Amino acid sequence: MTELPPSAVAAELARYAALTRSAMEEFLVLGRPSEYLYELIREYPDRGGKGIRPAVLLATCQAYGGEVDEGVRAAVSLEMLHNAFLIHDDIEDNSPLRRGLPTLHDRHGLGLALNAGDALASLALQPVRADSGLTGRLRDTLISEFSTVIRHTTEGQALELGWRRDEVADLVPSDYIELAGKKTCWYTTVAPLRMGAIIGSHGMATLGALSRFGFYLGLAFQTRDDLLDVERDSPHGKAPLGDIREGKHTLLLIHLMTTVDDGERSWLANFLRTPSSDKTAADCARVLDMMEQNGSVDFAREFEADMAAAARATIGPAFADVPPSAHVDFLRGLVEFVVDRRS
Amino acid sequence: MTELPPSAVAAELARYAALTRSAMEEFLVLGRPSEYLYELIREYPDRGGKGIRPAVLLATCQAYGGEVDEGVRAAVSLEMLHNAFLIHDDIEDNSPLRRGLPTLHDRHGLGLALNAGDALASLALQPVRADSGLTGRLRDTLISEFSTVIRHTTEGQALELGWRRDEVADLVPSDYIELAGKKTCWYTTVAPLRMGAIIGSHGMATLGALSRFGFYLGLAFQTRDDLLDVERDSPHGKAPLGDIREGKHTLLLIHLMTTVDDGERSWLANFLRTPSSDKTAADCARVLDMMEQNGSVDFAREFEADMAAAARATIGPAFADVPPSAHVDFLRGLVEFVVDRRS
């Protein structure tokens, strides 16, 4: 096995992202009404992205003996679905920025953005549905993976939004694992691994060990995302301390909730109850101070390191049925890339 | 051919609605998180509905020689998709009431309601996908009809929301036909007719004349809906003059926009620009007065009558390939029912 330097991982990610975006073009309809719908659905894909999902899918497909061409339509579907999720998530979280620019609802109004998300989510399945390179049985298996992904993702999103709305204060880190497992891991890592293996192996792969690796990688990814929010110099394209302002159930916030003393608890509850637009930058900074003083940032860093270690330990069993390859080396390098990334 | 009295049509509608709702039960998941997701997706289906879509699909399926059992899963899918659309439409239109009760976002907050609509839209395709009574080819044809439906519906919704946001004032009745054709006819009448014929004929039916009949029936249906908004004593379960308050592009409003004099035009433009929650009941009533005085209500009534007449004239050709039956009689009675209805 070869150690891939982060720059090589980044280059591979960029290559997979570019070829997926290029294959997406055929499915991003140019039609009427363009200024109210079809231009909108192109905006997030045109802003780029890390491309982790297509890269994981395509590398896994090749590790299982498939060709890039066999997997690219599934990668396009997944990336389109991801962008549809982002549009609706940004509305649900009332986020101001996405990939460094105003969110879609901020630019076009809530109604048109919501509707564009609906259109994109439906169009997202076209590439797989129209993929004549797949047998009918494989297509059905993949479509069913997509509906599993949507189910887990909406369940995770429901937990997050419900906890926030009801000001649920007695959460513990295992709740975080459930939340991140559903809202992030399924569609970011688990499904791309599973779909890549299904396509590459023509439906013969066993998926249990792959899914387990995917959960660890996804949890490391989400925890890093949580940490990026508080690492102020990160150019991640979102608003500074945006998760704190939105009251997102990051691992840091959940840890903080379990550790604050009674005096801080009521201040924090009041802060979380305040609409994000009414929260001051000073109060967001105070939450960050509390996170640092209560050890929440360190706790998240340790959790991230544990998840990365678990991912390293499970990638071998995950790919035990296939020969070593540059593609598995890439995925191994991706574990390091995910936790080292600064955006 | 037999003339069905409206009470017989209503009884048939209720019967089809009940059997579809009952078959839906198996697909409305009972899972976790129930209070944040799975209870929400049941709320609109549990409030009932006219059941026009499943009735049209199932009657057409039988007219083409199929059995109710063969069509019921497609009817369930369509009705679930309809309810998912309603959740998102209510958010996009900021509607306060649906079927006589507060809208889903009003009860649970925007984020959870939006997310529940996403989950329901994805679950909606399960009944057709899991329908082992269909051949793989028929399933693919139906799934492709569903994606066509979603495409037209989101395009129509985009037009409506875009025109409203941009205060487009130079619309004419042919714009209304484009709008209603996309946002209403496709999923209310055209797709149910097409899917019923596809299933009943095992994919052999020709769909052109059926689609044409569906557009006329759907336009009559939507125009009646528009008129119900201004017929104040109608128990239709929405807020009185709700369309006027929301600034919806009903045929009445579009006609009014083309006929008001310059003095009224600027008042109307200002009214439409006011957020719906800031509009007074008196101002909404004034718009209704303007509609009456400018002949917009009469214009819509005549248009409705024209569309009903066109539906009556095209139902024969639509079903020319199949023998006369009680099912075609029901659909003929439905034309009268749609324009006579008071809710």
Q: Using a CB-CB distance cutoff of 8 angstroms, which residues of chain B are in contact with residue A143?
A: 129
Please provide the DSSP assignment of A71-120 as one string: HHHHHHHHHHHHHHHHHHHHHHHT-SEETTEE-HHHHH-HHHHHHHHHHH
Residue with tokens 């959960």: A215
- How far apart CA A40 and CA A105 sit, in angstroms, is 10
pLDDT beyond 60 at B236: no
* pLDDT at res. A1: 64
pLDDT beyond 70 at B242: yes
| pLDDT, tens digit (0-9, with 9 covering 90-100), for B29-78 | 888 999 999 999 999 999 988 899 999 999 999 999 999 999 999 999 99
pLDDT beyond 80 at B343: no
**CATH (domain of A286):** 1.10.600.10
* pLDDT at res. A50: 87
Among the partner residues A92, A143, A162, nearest to B114 by beta-carbon distance: A92
Q: Do residues A335 and A220 lie in contact, with contact meaning Cβ atoms separated by under 8 Å?
A: yes
**Which pLDDT band, with edges at 50, 70 and 90, does A237 fall under?**
low
Gap from B328 CA to chain A (nearest CA, Å): 33
Q: Which two tokens stand for residue A205?
A: 């792969």
Among the partner residues B92, B114, B147, nearest to A126 by beta-carbon distance: B147
Amino acid at B8: A
Mean pLDDT of all residues in B299-311: 97
CB contact under 8 A, B33 and A155: yes
* pLDDT at res. B50: 87
Q: Residue B101: enclosing H or E segment and its boundaries?
A: strand B101-102
Q: What is the overall mean pLDDT for chain A?
A: 93
Helix ranges, A181-295 (H): 191-200, 208-230, 242-246, 251-259, 262-273, 281-293
Q: Do residues B311 and B213 lie in contact, with contact meaning Cβ atoms separated by under 8 Å?
A: yes
For chain A, what's the residue count?
343
Residues paired with A101 in a beta bridge: A98
Residue A149 lies in a domain: yes
| pLDDT, tens digit (0-9, with 9 covering 90-100), for B86-110 | 999 999 999 999 998 999 999 999 9
CB contact under 8 A, A37 and B155: yes
* pLDDT at res. A342: 78
- Of A115-124, A267-276, B308-317, the one with minimum mean pLDDT is A267-276
* pLDDT at res. B132: 87
| pLDDT, tens digit (0-9, with 9 covering 90-100), for B74-88 | 999 999 999 999 999
Residue B302, Cβ neighbours under 10 Å: how many? 12
Residue B131 lies in a domain: yes
pLDDT beyond 90 at A276: no
- Beta pairing, strands A101-102 & B97-98: unpaired
Q: Which two tokens stand for residue A109?
A: 């109004």
pLDDT beyond 60 at B178: yes
Amino acid at A180: A
Mean pLDDT of all residues in B16-30: 94
ipTM of the complex: 0.94
Q: Using a CB-CB distance cutoff of 8 angstroms, which residues of chain B are in contact with residue A183?
A: none
Among the partner residues B150, B158, B165, nearest to A122 by beta-carbon distance: B150
Q: Using a CB-CB distance cutoff of 8 angstroms, which residues of chain B are in contact with residue A91?
A: 110-111, 114
Q: Spell A270-303 as b/e; 16+ CB within 10 A means b.
A: ebbeeebeebeeebbebbbebbeebebbebbbeb
- How far apart CA B51 and CA B33 sit, in angstroms, is 29
Q: Is the peptide bond before B96 cis (omega within 30 degrees of 0)?
A: no
* pLDDT at res. A260: 92
Q: Which two tokens stand for residue B180?
A: 């209603």
Query: Nearest-CA neighbor of A244 among A230, A262, A259?
Result: A230
The DSSP output letter for B171 is: -
Residue B247 lies in a domain: yes
* pLDDT at res. B60: 98
Ranges assigned E (strand) in chain B: 97-98, 101-102
Gap from B79 CA to chain A (nearest CA, Å): 17
* pLDDT at res. B263: 87
Residue A137 lies in a domain: no
Mean pLDDT of all residues in B152-177: 93
| pLDDT, tens digit (0-9, with 9 covering 90-100), for A94-143 | 999 999 899 999 999 999 999 999 999 999 999 999 888 899 899 999 99
- How far apart CA A179 and CA A114 sit, in angstroms, is 23
* pLDDT at res. A30: 82
CB contact under 8 A, B154 and A37: yes
Residues paired with A98 in a beta bridge: A101
- How far apart CA B273 and CA B267 sit, in angstroms, is 10
Among the partner residues B33, B147, B161, nearest to A122 by beta-carbon distance: B147
| pLDDT, tens digit (0-9, with 9 covering 90-100), for B211-224 | 999 999 999 999 99
Residue A338 lies in a domain: no
pLDDT beyond 80 at A206: yes
Q: Do residues A63 and A328 lie in contact, with contact meaning Cβ atoms separated by under 8 Å?
A: yes
* pLDDT at res. B49: 85
Gap from B177 CA to chain A (nearest CA, Å): 15
| pLDDT, tens digit (0-9, with 9 covering 90-100), for A129-186 | 988 889 989 999 999 999 999 999 999 999 999 999 998 888 998 999 999 999 999 9
pLDDT beyond 70 at A285: yes
Which chain A residue lies closest to B135 (C-alpha atoms)? Answer: A136
Amino acid at B196: G
Residue B310, Cβ neighbours under 10 Å: how many? 18
Q: What is the overall mean pLDDT for chain B?
A: 93
Mutate to test the interface with A, among B36, B103, B187 (most CBs of A within 10 A): B36
Residues paired with B102 in a beta bridge: B97
CB contact under 8 A, A114 and B109: no
Query: Nearest-CA neighbor of B121 among A207, A68, A122?
Result: A122
* pLDDT at res. B235: 55
Residue B74 lies in a domain: yes
Amino acid at B153: T
* pLDDT at res. A48: 87
Q: Which residues contact B50 (CB under 8 A, 6 or more apart)?
A: B13, B17, B341
A27 burial level (CB within 10 Å; 0-12, 13-18, 19+)? middle
| pLDDT, tens digit (0-9, with 9 covering 90-100), for B138-160 | 999 999 999 999 999 999 999 99
Query: Nearest-CA neighbor of B183 among B142, B141, B225, B144?
Result: B225
- Of B124-128, B159-163, B165-169, B194-198, the one with minimum mean pLDDT is B165-169
- How far apart CA A257 and CA A170 sit, in angstroms, is 7
Q: For residue A64, what are the domain limits?
A: 6-132+143-332
Q: Is the peptide bond before A33 cis (omega within 30 degrees of 0)?
A: yes
Residue A337 lies in a domain: no
Mean pLDDT of all residues in B249-254: 95
Gap from B238 CA to chain A (nearest CA, Å): 20
- How far apart CA A205 and CA B315 sit, in angstroms, is 52
pLDDT beyond 80 at A236: no
CB contact under 8 A, B112 and A136: no
The upper half-sphere exposure of residue A185, i.e. CA atoms within 13 Å in the direction of its Cβ, equals 22
Among the partner residues B92, B121, B151, nearest to A111 by beta-carbon distance: B92
* pLDDT at res. A81: 97
Number of domains, chain A: 1
A-contacting residues in B 114-173 (Cβ below 8 Å) = 114-116, 118-119, 121-123, 125-126, 129, 136, 140, 143-144, 147, 150-151, 154-155, 157-159, 161-162, 165
Q: Which two tokens stand for residue B132?
A: 């082992």
Residue A305 lies in a domain: yes
* pLDDT at res. B237: 62
Query: Nearest-CA neighbor of A184 among A145, A147, A225?
Result: A225
